Amino acid sequence: MRICIVGAGISGLATAQAILTRKPDAEIVVFEAGQRVGGKVWTEASPEGYLCEGGVNGFLNKIPRTLKLCEEAGVSPVPADTSAQKRYVYSRSELHKLPEKPPEFLASRLLSVPGRLRVLYELVAGGTDNPDETLAEFGTRRLGREAFERLIDPMASGVFAGDATQLSLKSCFPRIHEVEAEYHSLIRGLIKLQRKARRSGKKDTPGPGPGPGGTLTSFANGMGTLTDALALQLGDRVRIASPVQEISRNGGHYTLLLGNGTVEECETLILAAPAHAQAGMLRSFDLALAALLEAIPYPSLAVCCFGYHKKNVGQVLDGFGFLVPSKEQRAVLGAIIDSNVFPGRAPEDSILLRSMVGGARSPQLARLPEEQLIDRVRNDLRDILGIDAEPDFIRIFRHKKAIPQYVVGHAVRLDAINTIMQRHPGLILTGNAFKGVSLNDCVVNAEKTARALFPQPGTGVPM
C-alpha cells in the first residue's frame, strides 16, 4: 500500500513518523508546496544573533506522545525559564499580573471589587440551553462582563488570534465545556479535579486555564529543530516545492496532479495541509467537501520581532509577556519577551520582543505596509512597556491565513465533513483545522491516524 501525505508541517511530518514507527516498511511520500518544511513552525536565526519564531513558539510538555516524538527525532526539549509563569494583561493603561493562586486573584487590581465578587458568583450562576455558545456568551454568563473583557477575551487572542464573540466554546475549549456540564460550576469543578489529582498522586494538578497544564517547552535552536529533524529522518520521502493541484480517484487509487505536471498514485491519501489548501485540491473531486473546508476561517496575522540593546531599554518586563483585551483598541494582540523565556534568543547584551498584530479582531492591520505596521507596533510598545528607543533589529513574518478559527457551527461542519468522508475510503483529513490548533493536538491526531491505519506498532523508523 502506497501512502501519500500532502503537507510537511508538523501534522504531515508527525503522521509520517507515526506510521513508520508502526510499519517501518511502509511506502510513504510527503509532498510540500513550499520551499521548506515546518508549516507554521518557522524558525529563523539572524546574522545579528537573534533567534526568531515566526509561528509556533513552544508546546506544553505534558503530552507523552509529543515527548516521545522528540525522542524518536533525536532532539532534546528545553523548558522555559521559571519567569515565564509570570504573564500580564494590559488594561486601563496598566499592566496587571495574571493571578496564579486564589489569594492573588482576591488582591489583583485586574478586576474591580464588584468584578471579583461577580466571579465568585460563578458557583451558583445559571446554565444555558444554547448547545453552541460563543466564548463571549459563556464568559459573560458564568464570570460576568468584566471578567470576560479582561480575561477571556485576551485569552482568545492569545490562543487563536481570535474574536471571542465568534469562537465556539465547545469546539475551542471542550474541556471547559465538559467541566461545566459535569459540575455545573467551573470553580467547583476545578476544586474537585484538583483534589482528585492529589489523591491519585499526580504532581501536576489541573489549573484554571483552558490548557492541559505542563511547562512551556521548546529547543535550544528553536521549534524548527523538531520539524527539521523529522524531515531529515524521512529523507527523500519528503519532496518540497511539490504542490498538489488536483486530486481524482480511479478505482482503488487516488491520483495526484502536481504543479510540475507529474502524476502520483496511492491507495491511501492523507491531507495534512491547511483546510483552505485542502479545499483547493479537492474542488474538482468533491465540491461539497471542498466548500465545507473552505468555510473554515483563517484570518491574517503578522508576527513582529524587535531586538533592542539592553542599554537602550533596560528591564522591560520580568515575565513571559502580555495580552491586550480588544476593549483597549490597540494594534498588538499581545507580545512575548522571547529573551526572557528561552536562552539564546538574543545576543547577551540585547532583548527580543515578539508582537502579534491582526488576527480575527483586526486582520487588515496584519496587511499594513511595513513602515505603517512597524509604527503601530512601536507606538503600542511605547505606551505599554515604555520603550521609546528604535529597534536595533526588525524581522516581520506575515501569515496571509494564520490560525483556523473554530467559530460557532464548527462542530456541525465537522459532522458534515465526516458524513461526506464516508464516500471516500482511503482519504484522510488531518491538521489543526479540525480538533485542536496546538502542536500537541497535531501530534496526538497524527498518532491517531497511524493507529487507525496500522493498529499494531512496529520496531521504529529506518534511518
Contact 3, 266 (CB under 8 A): yes
Tell me what pLDDT residue 461 has.
46
Average pLDDT along the chain, 463 residues, taken 10 residues at a time: 97 98 97 98 97 97 96 97 93 93 86 95 94 97 97 96 98 95 93 87 54 83 98 98 97 95 97 98 98 98 98 92 97 97 96 98 98 98 97 98 98 98 97 97 97 76 41
Residue 333: exposure state from Cβ atoms within 10 A (0-12, 13-18, ≥19): buried
Domains of the chain (ranges, CATH numbers): 2-41+63-70+223-297+406-453 (3.50.50.60), 111-213 (1.10.3110.10), 299-399 (3.90.660.20)
Q: What pLDDT score does 107 carry? A: 87
Q: pLDDT at position 282, please?
A: 98
Q: Which of 329, 66, 26 is nearest to 219 (CA)?
A: 66
Amino acid 197: pLDDT: 82
For position 105, what pLDDT does the model report?
A: 85
Three cell numbers, residue 396:
516581520
C-alpha–C-alpha distance, residues 296 and 16, integer Å: 25
- For residue 280, which of 253, 258, 250, 247 has the smallest C-alpha distance? 247
Task: Tell me the pTM.
Answer: 0.94
170 grid coordinates: 465547545
- Count Cα atoms within 13 angstroms, Cβ side, for 285: 23
- Give the ranges where 126-246 is alpha helix by DSSP (H): 135-143, 145-147, 153-160, 169-172, 174-183, 186-199, 224-234
